[in-house]
A and B are shown apart, each in its own frame.
Chain A
Amino acid sequence: AQSVSQHNHHVILSEAASLELGCNYSYGGTVNLFWYVQYPGQHLQLLLKYFSGDPLVKGIKGFEAEFIKSKFSFNLRKPSVQWSDTAEYFCAVNYGGAQKLVFGQGTRLTINP
């Protein structure tokens, strides 16, 4: 079955620490990949997306993600986090041009000042 796994359920970091959130998907064909963020009390918004081309994708607010096809992974990174990055982060995959996205379970990120 097509699935998306986010292994980190809750990550707690201090400000200025580096961040990497894992995302793995289950399918070996063509995929489009997304990271969404949900800040407390706000709607989900798109952080970044990968459709093709350079596997290192840069998004908003200093986030980036790297698509590693051989590992079926699309990990989210940020070199130095801020308190305002406290939020829930969701990885999503579009498998083979299907009409829908499959979401991971989400990772709750808490940044301590």
Chain B
Amino acid sequence: DGGITQSPKYLFRKEGQNVTLSCEQNLNHDAMYWYRQDPGQGLRLIYYSQIVNDFQKGDIAEGYSVSREKKESFPLTVTSAQKNPTAFYLCASSTQGGQPQHFGDGTRLSIL
């Protein structure tokens, strides 16, 4: 079945440590997205990519970085500069921008 796979499901980070969240899709979608979900704040866009080797900052990109070296992969790195990283992170993809997005199951990141 086609879909989006996020790993790991749970991730713990120590202070001052960078961590990378994986997102892989086999839907052959061009566009991919990273969101952060906090209670009562909905989904806030971190980064998005419309095509391989290109990506744009979303509304809350500070303290995060991404890469898009392959169409099916869009990893997110939460750097030590992100002061409040504890959250639920969602990856999504769509055929192109503005179209319905398909979501992964999410990664929950916590600080030790």
Give the B-binding residues of A (Cβ under 8 A).
4, 6, 9, 32, 34, 36, 42-46, 49, 90, 92, 94, 97-106
Given A43-B104, A44-B103, does the pair A100, B33 have CB atoms closer than 8 Å?
yes
Given A43-B103, A43-B104, A44-B90, does the pair A100, B58 have CB atoms closer than 8 Å?
yes
With most chain A CB atoms within 10 A of its CB, the pick from B31, B44, B90, B100 is B100
25 residue pairs bridging A and B, Cβ less than 8 Å apart = A6-B42, A32-B98, A36-B103, A42-B105, A43-B90, A43-B104, A43-B106, A44-B90, A44-B92, A46-B100, A46-B101, A49-B100, A90-B42, A92-B43, A94-B98, A98-B97, A99-B31, A99-B56, A100-B97, A100-B98, A101-B101, A103-B44, A106-B40, A106-B42, A106-B43
Write out the residue numbers on chain B whose beta carbons fall within 8 Å of the beta carbon of A97: 97-98
Write out the residue numbers on chain A whose beta carbons fall within 8 Å of the beta carbon of B96: 99
Q: How far is the CA of A98 from the CA of B101 in the complex (A)?
A: 14
Within the complex, the shortest CB–CB distance from A14 to chain B, in Å, comes to 24
Write out the residue numbers on chain A whose beta carbons fall within 8 Å of the beta carbon of B4: 43
Write out the residue numbers on chain A whose beta carbons fall within 8 Å of the beta carbon of B106: 43
- A103–B42 contact, CB under 8 A? yes
Residue B41 lies at the interface, judged by CB distance under 8 Å to chain A: yes
Q: Please, how many residues of chain B have a CB less than 8 angstroms from a CB on the other chain?
A: 25
Within the complex, the shortest CB–CB distance from A28 to chain B, in Å, comes to 17
Which residue on A lies nearest to B48, using beta carbons?
Answer: A100
Which residue on A lies nearest to B91, using beta carbons?
Answer: A43
- A103–B43 contact, CB under 8 A? yes
Within the complex, the shortest CB–CB distance from B6 to chain A, in Å, comes to 9
- B42–A45 contact, CB under 8 A? no
Within the complex, the shortest CB–CB distance from B20 to chain A, in Å, comes to 20
Which residues of B from 15 to 68 have beta carbons under 8 Å from A? 31, 33, 35, 40-45, 48, 50, 56, 58
